[in-house]
Structure 1
Amino acid sequence: MAIFAAVQTPEKVKDTVREIVRKPYPKYKVIVLNDDFNTFEHVSECLMKYIPNMTDDLAWELTNQIHFEGLAIVWVGPMEQAELYHAQLKQSGLTMAPLEAE
């Protein structure tokens, strides 16, 4: 029994190799919504407790934005971390929008 192998020339191999396209992972937004039952202090404390590198000044700025504009994006990053921060803030009683891809 004879076995025949197809041999491609370098030009044909080059044509069949696909270019690798690197795409960054999508980032997700953690968004807190305004409500009628959480106090400014509670919202600010939760942001400082659960969002990494959150400062007191930034927490108050975001809390004011939540109150006066109806929502604020409090963190943006990879999905797994976004899910964690979203769940922690929600468990603390904050009103959360669904995670959004950026």
Structure 2
Amino acid sequence: MATAPTVAPDKSSQVTRKPYPNYKVIVLNDDFNTFEHVAACLMKYIPCMTSDRAWDLTNQVHFEGQATVWVGPQEPAELYHMQLSRAGLTMAPLEQA
């Protein structure tokens, strides 16, 4: 008596990709950094930061208490956060976007 061959189920060829989360670099308002220093730091450490954008963000920090200055992958976010902090800016902890 012949038996039917055993057939293994097809493996799913569909791969689900889950992107890495982005992180927000947030500068907080304080009473000791000048507008000029904040804007200069943003232009120095955040890639592609224009003077106009740096001043807009500096004003947002001053008038709203904080501004998200960069959003992206964790490793560069940690670098920019550390650089801005070492330059004397008051930083919020990194948080997922």
| TM-score, reference length from structure 1 | 0.85
Aligned counterpart, 1:13: 9
Measured after TM superposition, the shift of residue 19 of structure 1 is: 4.4
Tell me the residue number matched to 1:51: 46
**What is the CA-CA distance between 1:13 and the residue it aligns to?**
2.2
Alignment of 1:1-102 (within 5 A): 8-9=6-7, 12-14=8-10, 17=12, 19-102=14-97
Unaligned runs of 5+ in 1: 1-6
In 2 relative to 1, CA 8–41 (structure 1 residues): closer, same or farther, beyond 3 Å? farther
TM-superposed deviation, 1:8: 4.5
Secondary structure of the corresponding residue to residue 24 of structure 2: strand
Identity score, percent? 68
Cα separation, partners in 2 of 1:8 and 1:53, compared to 1, 3 Å = farther
RMSD: 1.5
Secondary structure (helix, strand or coil) at the match of 1:13 reads coil
Aligned partners of 1:97, 1:80: CA distance in 2, in Å? 16
Q: Which runs of 4+ in 1 moved over 6 A?
A: none
Deviations 1:28-74 (A, max 9, x none): 00000000000000000000000000000000000000000000000
Gaps of 5+ in 2: none
